[in-house]
Amino acid sequence: VVHCYVRSDGLAGAVTTDLEYPARVAFVLLTQLLDEFQQTIGDSWRSVSTAESVAFPQIEEYLQKYQDPAAADKVAKIQQDLDETTQILHKTIDSVLERGTKLDSLVERSNDLSAQSKMFYKQAKKTNSCCTIS
């Protein structure tokens, strides 16, 4: 995919990426690259007849930095962090719900044990009432 960007002053740039590379990140790269080019070179680019005659070594830095779009683009990085946080929250919620189910089961068992204990107490009281030692 070829992404092209032409500024209002006529300065233009193009970058070729694969299909998975986010278009927004490619345009951020082009915008930053053209802005720094303008600051470094100034308006002298207007009188250049061949592109090879303009030296701009910073382009290598930009191309290296933007190899990983998630690391280079702050919005993509934030989105990735949000996705990770969402996954963690989903796991936490699932754990809490599972814990709640276990607690409900434990409360039910406790109630059953309490009822059995009361029945045992009543039965023991009945059994002991017939046999009194004097």
Q: What is the pLDDT of residues 66-115, one digit of tens each?
A: 888 877 777 777 888 899 999 999 999 988 888 888 888 888 899 989 99
Predicted TM-score (pTM) of this structure: 0.54
User: What integer pLDDT is reported at residue 132 of this predicted model?
Assistant: 61
Query: How far apart are the C-alpha atoms of 84 and 68, rounded to whole Å?
Result: 18
State the Cα–Cα distance between residues 83 and 64, nearest whole angstrom: 25
Least confident of 22-26, 53-57, 87-91, 95-99: 53-57
Could you give the 3-state DSSP secondary structure of residue 4? strand
Q: How far apart are CA 74 and CA 76, in angstroms?
A: 5
More confident residue, 16 or 48: 16
Higher pLDDT, 121 or 133: 121
